[in-house]
Amino acid sequence: MKSEGGGESRAIPDQPVADGFLDAASAAQLLRSSDTLLLRLHPPTTEASQKPYGPLPASPIVVRLTRGKRIADVVHGGASDAEINRVDVVTRNVSWGGWGGSPFEKTLATVVVELGGKEHVAALAISPEADRAAASVKPLCDALNELLDGEAASGDAPAAPPLSAPLAGRFALALEGDYVVMRDYESVGPRANVTRYALLCAACLVLAAIAWTAFARELAGAAALASLLGYAAVGFVLGAGALAMGEIARFASKYRADNAALAWFFDDRVVILPWVSREGAIDTQPEGRLGAAIRIPEVDGVSIAEKDGTSTLTLETQHGPIDVFTTKDAGVARAYRSAIERVLVAVAAPAKRPTGILKTAAATT
């Protein structure tokens, strides 16, 4: 597997990984109780070249940390090992409500790790209160600084067993601009269906040729008008289908990203399977391949259905269930269910009368 720097990226070790986007509290516990572990970091994103697309996505990296050492061993996604110079909590305010709703403020708090001179993000919290957002990620920041400074390990291991890096490596939540985006790094997005579209195009062409041949034969004889119109209609529809499948295959083959965007969360909305640019940047308009964006109060919850050894994570909405992803590992599904529930509540607008998942969250806090 090629790294971002052009070298060969090493295989991800089968060790527990701390992922602050998945669960900042558990990641902090893992950092405090371990002498060596893996940490997932997200490189800075690059602004998209055109609207309405968001920033260009950057694949996460995995580093191995050892207590008392500031040199991070980059085991996946990076070009070389690097020194961690700084770990801080950084906050910024955002103003949302730009899609016809009442304006509201949120604070985005991130744990920023300066690795090899570049800022990477290790965790994210979103809250209407700046102090609360910062407090949600500060334990991870403190635990990481303690590990780098060589302070003795303390505290209990996380209550929920952390995912190993290979299991956690398929999916990722990341901050892209002001959008929280979930991606699948085992999918090549539209490119995965190029062969299918090409075969459908070829099949439509063959059938269209047969239909037009029959039309020509009937036209040369004494065929009824209805028969001629029937062959012509079938030939036209199949020809149009071939053209459409060919165009879809052509555009899909030009998709250059190494992942697929599964969802974005932003400004009281969630979009499953968003439209993307050829570089994989999300379309920031409030609609996706499955239709319009869904407001957070219209999401009733997040469920997992297990069948034949697979787990499917589904958003239960007032518009019907929407599948987000399917995995063979139930632990991965459970971890992302909890993470997605937190993100949904975090990006929601203030509500005087909470409904759906917001009502459930209010009852448990």
> Greater confidence, 229 or 266?
266
User: What are phi and psi for residue 6, nearest 5 degrees?
Assistant: 100, -10
pLDDT for residue 58 is more than 70: yes
The pLDDT value recorded for residue 289 is 82
Token pair 């893992």 is at which residue?
Answer: 30
How far out from the chain centre does Cα 43 lie? 15
Instruction: Write out pLDDT tens, residues 328-352.
Output: 999 999 999 999 999 999 999 998 8
Q: Is 133 helix (H, G, I), strand (E, B) or coil?
A: helix
Say whether pLDDT at 36 is over 80: yes
Query: Is residue 53 predicted with pLDDT exceeding 50?
Result: yes
What would the mean pLDDT of 300-327 be, rounded to a whole number?
95
* Other Cβ atoms within 10 Å of 14 Cβ, number: 10
Predicted confidence (pLDDT) at residue 6 exceeds the cutoff of 60? no
How far apart (Å, rounded) are the C-alpha atoms in residues 312 and 343?
19
Alpha helix positions (H), the chain: 24-33, 130-149, 165-168, 194-220, 225-253, 330-347, 357-363
Can you tell me the mean pLDDT for 234-245? 92
Rounded-to-integer distance, Cα 235 and Cα 212, Å: 6
**pLDDT digit string, tens, across residues 149-190:** 999 888 777 766 777 767 778 899 999 999 999 999 988 877
| Residue 215 CA from chain centroid, whole number | 50
Burial class (CB in 10 A: 0-12, 13-18, 19+), 117: exposed
Average pLDDT for residues 216-240, to the nearest whole number? 84
Q: At what angle do helices 24-33 and 130-149 cross, to 10 degrees?
A: 20
User: Rounded mean pLDDT of the chain?
Assistant: 88
For the ranges 8-17, 44-53, 84-93, 192-201, the lowest mean pLDDT is seen at: 8-17
Q: What is the pLDDT of residue 223?
A: 67
pLDDT of residue 159: 66
pLDDT, position 96: 95
Report the pLDDT averaged over residues 111-139: 96
243 Cβ contact list (under 8 Å, min separation 6): none
The span from the CA of 55 to the CA of 121, in Å, is 15
Residue 3 confidence (pLDDT): 36
Q: What is the pLDDT of residue 1?
A: 37
Q: Which residue has the higher pLDDT, 156 or 284?
A: 284
- pLDDT tens for 62-115 read 999 999 999 999 988 776 789 999 999 999 999 998 777 789 999 999 999 999
Among 6-15, 200-209, 234-243, which is the least confidently predicted range?
6-15
Instruction: For the chain, give the percent of residues with pLDDT over 70.
Output: 93
